[in-house]
Amino acid sequence: MSFASLGLSAPILTAVAEQGYDTPSPIQIQAIPQVLAGRDLMAAAQTGTGKTAGFTLPILEKLLNGESAKPNHARVLILTPTRELAAQVGESVTLYSKHLRLRSAVVFGGVKINPQMVALRRGVDVLVATPGRLLDLYQQNAIRFNGLETLVLDEADRMLDMGFINDIKKIMAVLPRQRQTLMFSATFSTEIRALAKQFLNNPVEVSVTPSNATAPTVTQWVSPVDKKRKAALLTLLIQEGDWQQVLVFTKTKHGANKLTAHLNAEGISASAIHGNKSQGARTKALADFKSGSIRALVATDIAARGLDIDQLPQVVNFELPHVPEDYVHRIGRTGRAGASGHAVSLVCADDLKLLHAIEKVTRQTIERRQVPGFEPVNLVPEETATTKPKHNHNRRPKKPVKGHADGQRSGFVASGHKPKAR
pLDDT band at 397 (very low <50, low <70, confident <90, very high): very low
pLDDT tens digit sequence for 145-194: 999 999 999 999 888 878 899 999 999 999 999 999 999 987 777 888 88
Shared domain check, 288 and 201: no
Shared domain check, 239 and 159: no
Residue 355 is predicted with a pLDDT of 93
Lowest mean pLDDT among 30-44, 113-127, 351-365: 351-365
Residue 306 is predicted with a pLDDT of 56
pLDDT tens digit sequence for 240-298: 999 999 999 998 889 999 999 999 999 999 999 887 888 788 888 888 998 889 999 99
Question: Is position 175 within any domain?
Answer: yes
Q: Which residue has the higher pLDDT, 413 or 246?
A: 246
pLDDT tens digit sequence for 109-131: 989 999 999 999 999 999 999 99
Shared domain check, 222 and 199: no
Question: Is position 378 within any domain?
Answer: no
**Final residue in a domain of this structure, among 368, 387, 416:** 368
**Final residue in a domain of this structure, among 331, 346, 368:** 368
Per-residue DSSP letter, 401:
P
Shared domain check, 257 and 168: no
Given 3-state DSSP classes, what are the helix, strand and coil percentages for the chain, each rounded to the nearest 5? 35, 15, 45
pLDDT band at 211 (very low <50, low <70, confident <90, very high): low
Shared domain check, 32 and 76: yes
Question: Is position 334 within any domain?
Answer: yes
pTM for the model stands at: 0.62
d(CA 279, CA 192): 29
The helix/strand/coil state of 184 is: strand
In the chain, what percentage of residues exceed pLDDT 70?
84
Shared domain check, 139 and 170: yes
233: which residues sit within 8 A by CB, 6+ positions away? 223, 225, 346, 371, 374
pLDDT tens digit sequence for 56-104: 999 999 999 888 899 999 999 999 998 888 998 999 999 999 999 999 9
Find the mean pLDDT for residues 291-317: 80
Shared domain check, 289 and 358: yes
Question: Is position 47 within any domain?
Answer: yes
Question: Is position 195 within any domain?
Answer: yes
β partners of residue 44? 185, 207
Q: Which residue has the higher pLDDT, 307 or 410?
A: 307
Question: Is position 386 within any domain?
Answer: no
243 and 316 Cβ atoms separated by less than 8 Å: no
Shared domain check, 317 and 346: yes
**Final residue in a domain of this structure, among 207, 231, 254:** 207
Shared domain check, 310 and 289: yes
**Residue 235's domain is classified under what CATH number?**
3.40.50.300
Shared domain check, 287 and 192: no
Question: Is position 341 within any domain?
Answer: yes
Question: Is position 398 within any domain?
Answer: no
Q: Which residue has the higher pLDDT, 308 or 41?
A: 41
Shared domain check, 197 and 53: yes
d(CA 299, CA 41): 31
Structural domain of 297: 218-368
Shared domain check, 186 and 301: no
Number of compact structural domains in the chain: 2
